[in-house]
A and B are shown apart, each in its own frame.
Chain A
């Protein structure tokens, strides 16, 4: 790009006329999950283009697009793909992490059930770029409907020569398998997912070696989120420049934001990265239905942010939210109303993590699953004593950064942020046993 060529203003709003949904363009359309529908709307053009430009060029294209992993960590996808060893003579694997279990995240289930071919195409592209001939889709066990759609789509694709030997006459062989999980959040952790896929107990593995060196069955493996693979499909279809034209400088492209809590229209919205919270909440979700006090920006693991003007004006991208002390995560925005006891709300999340701890390492098994959840129960049941909050904070210090995988740290996200923002609610429970916001029925009269 030359100096004379003025860079077009990047798209950072869903209301920008240049923006159009791509990932979710066909979600909700009748028959959108069939090959016939998908083909009619330009399906499998991306992979054709990938075959035309060659695997290295595909990785370059993904690198150029600025795509970052949509599963939560936000690692540059092109870079991750380039870690796979070349010509090492071993089989390679690509795995799609469809074990979407984080509270507040529900973007992948519609991609899986409404547009499965988009994912198959993305995995074909990824598999082709990383010289993998086998792909696995590890789908959350509860997504029965989505799994069935996926099986159907894979059968269709196989019959149409899009999977199997010599895909589309390119000489590239690719097989795709769906594996249904058995309901463990920890299987969203990539190494635990691989253990589960191998038929072992879903405990995270030691890193290094990283999956790109020794992953599934000890062979080079790359794991990406559903949305990442779908974005790769769109990048190959529309080009890296199209993708890079959206979003902020370091966070490029579109993202599926999910919003839940007391808003008029909760759901999934595809918006460019960098869209402010205000636009998502007010313009797309129809605004809050009651007084809000906190916002979880990206799924339950992300520290809460205070509901204020600065937060509302914050662009939803990886950097701005990180600067505010939280994470974009999966983009699962959750609003917490003023009238809800924050300790109770956090207990709900802590219970989730305590239930999902795999039990491998001490701080998570004993700290989260054994102690933290009981401290919260004690507080919420009104049996707290002064010093309990300090004890939770001290315990958190002994858990945070000491655990084997990120699950324990993920639990500390809501715990520490809620204590930081709403200490007075904790203190009230610890000292008087009475919550500042007593529980009430949350079923709205309709």
Chain B
């Protein structure tokens, strides 16, 4: 190793010294995610009718390698349906502690109801709070359970620690992320 090589290396260091740092000081700053980042699930709705896309078929549960999903179906009230057709998910639960965010549930879904969103800030204190139900995942519900709890406690608007490059992907019908 010659002196020249050392100088070369120091030169790289020197040149970087004066660049803008890459490190994002999360959580003070927002992290930028790619649209295909796989985070907390969203249960989407048909945009025109507002009906849930989920028909309670349990195929996501069958596809789940971590056995994280539990579905219980029920008959739609024909006059006041929850989803199109005869069947809807009365109970839809994902255990976020078990979930490995592989996205196989999204692939298995015949109606495109369950889509992996970009939210990743799920950390919470109790096991039971990490089992997300329909009320936590339906489109329109912002943020994770602890974030919503925090927002309600402080009275401040819910704050997400990320932005998505180019916004949410089209599968996440009705979901808006800051870009």
A–B contact, 8 Å CB criterion (strictly below): no
